[in-house]
Structure 1
């Protein structure tokens, strides 16, 4: 037993285009769902701190919104949030997809990364979707584009090579303090995670018209008898037609969203909940600073 081994700690940003698997990787590293996952691009809107603690190290991951060309103030906030993390961390994980050709989005991020001195790992995700013969040329291609300290192929969904990645991250971190208690896995309050779990179900169940126009706010949490918790939430959309889609015929879509969200929230809280969902229209909220701030998006 290495009782004299120094403690290492630091902050690690995960950056990449939308939908490359950043949240999946972070959840896999932590061993628990902290960030929501969806096959819809631009799912993550906030910078989420998640904590991996080992005997001699603590890694604080910052999962960032996907970098994309913004079409509204919310989109600009998301891109600004992602790029701002580059100045705050000890290590950067730049994630790309093995099964998608590198394009303008990846090049834009690499141009931003070339301006900083922070060590950068290239994480090639979804390697389970390509053959080994395709992987080596892909690694060779990226080696010519930026000075990556490490290039690690992984499958975040399957967990392939994720433990090795964690070991490499810790190796590069400086000596430092323990920032969070051992049992803490995120700096976000339970209300935030509950709202995100509800939004995840909306993204999963509804059509392409809905995803980016949805915000969820937890209005009320109250203890009830028999170890039950009441959770009241509001789902905001931008148009009446979107409200109709989320409610569904005879309320069936809203009921399904509630059933799936309740299961995840009960796992989070460790108790039974009564989940009330309501839907409200706030016209063009993604372009209104007052609404963005009230929904938890700070300066835009």
Structure 2
């Protein structure tokens, strides 16, 4: 008798820097989502794919919710709120002891539109006396009656197995949507642009971290299997361009060298790589 397959969609939500990207990377065992200590690192929704025999699910990493209502923030919020309506499971990630108006608003919205959610308290490895968490857990428990609460450390891979077991047993019976070797719905071009963006983010001052975008203008494989990749970093003004290029080109050269090493590791091939900086 043929066994039934399981498929569903799981959404990671929470404020910035709670560990959503780390959790996604750990669960699918592939580094597709940027991890950085700088806030608002994830700028769009990224989808990883977990497959284990008969079970498959899409794991969606959302930008951190901070209710800053610029046009960009509004669109990100709308996209996340639309996904809350659609997915099979919502994983609401919080940091130990942090429960503010951001979390209250988000929980209220989730309760109203999708009751299939769990609370995940991340970064428990930073808490030496775990007993201090008990009052906080009791508080959350009163707000989320009859919903699971998981304590984890995504970074240290602590108790992730318990969360994974819950996801697997909760998802519906359905056909798989992806081949079993696929790890993400993102294109190679997108992931390479993210590698460059992450590398540059860690080289520049925080005031211009979100003032540039990276686009891949050329991406193809030559007959000798070597990839040709040309990228453009678009900035807002001449001052930002000077900062990114650096004194005598030092900063952009660093970005080029580090990005090339990371991209070659990602593609498992040598590449010919160019970076340009332009004002847009």
- What band does the TM-score fall into relative to the shorter chain? over 0.9
Aligned match of 1:127 = 124
Aligned match of 1:32 = 30
Judge conservation of contact 1:247–1:253 (CA < 8 Å) in 2: yes
Tell me the distance in 2 between the aligned counterparts of 1:206 and 1:16: 26
Aligned match of 2:47 = 49
Tell me the distance in 1 between the aligned counterparts of 2:189 and 2:254: 21
- TM-align CA RMSD: 1.6
Aligned match of 1:297 = none
Tell me the TM-score normalised to structure 2 length: 0.94
Aligned match of 1:109 = 106
Aligned match of 1:150 = 148
Segments of 5+ residues of structure 1 without an aligned counterpart are 283-300
Does the residue aligned with 2:113 lie in a helix, a strand or coil? coil
Runs of 4+ in 1 over 6 A off after TM superposition: none
Aligned match of 1:250 = 248
Report Cα offsets for 1:72-94 as digits up to 9, x if no partner.
22222222222221011000000
Judge conservation of contact 1:13–1:61 (CA < 8 Å) in 2: yes
Tell me the distance in 2 between the aligned counterparts of 1:102 and 1:60: 27
Aligned match of 1:293 = none
Report Cα offsets for 1:162-200 as digits up to 9, x if no partner.
122111111111111111000001111110101011111
> How many Å apart are 1:71 and its aligned residue?
4.5
Tell me the distance in 1 between the aligned counterparts of 2:145 and 2:204: 41
Query: 5 Å matches for 1:57-72?
Result: 57-72=55-70
Aligned match of 2:165 = 167
Tell me the TM-score normalised to structure 1 length: 0.88
Tell me the distance in 2 between the aligned counterparts of 1:249 and 1:141: 52
Does the residue aligned with 2:34 lie in a helix, a strand or coil? coil
Judge conservation of contact 2:95–2:122 (CA < 8 Å) in 1: yes
Segments of 5+ residues of structure 2 without an aligned counterpart are none
> How many Å apart are 1:262 and its aligned residue?
1.5
Judge conservation of contact 1:68–1:79 (CA < 8 Å) in 2: no
> How many Å apart are 1:217 and its aligned residue?
0.3
Tell me the distance in 2 between the aligned counterparts of 1:260 and 1:22: 24
1:95 to 93, 96, 110: 93
Aligned match of 1:228 = 226
> How many Å apart are 1:258 and its aligned residue?
1.7
Bigger mean CA deviation after superposition, 273-282 or 88-97 = 273-282
Tell me the distance in 2 between the aligned counterparts of 1:120 and 1:134: 25
Structure 1 residues 147 and 264, CA gap change in structure 2 (3 angstroms): farther
Aligned match of 2:180 = 182
Report Cα offsets for 1:243-266 as digits up to 9, x if no partner.
112111111111111222222211
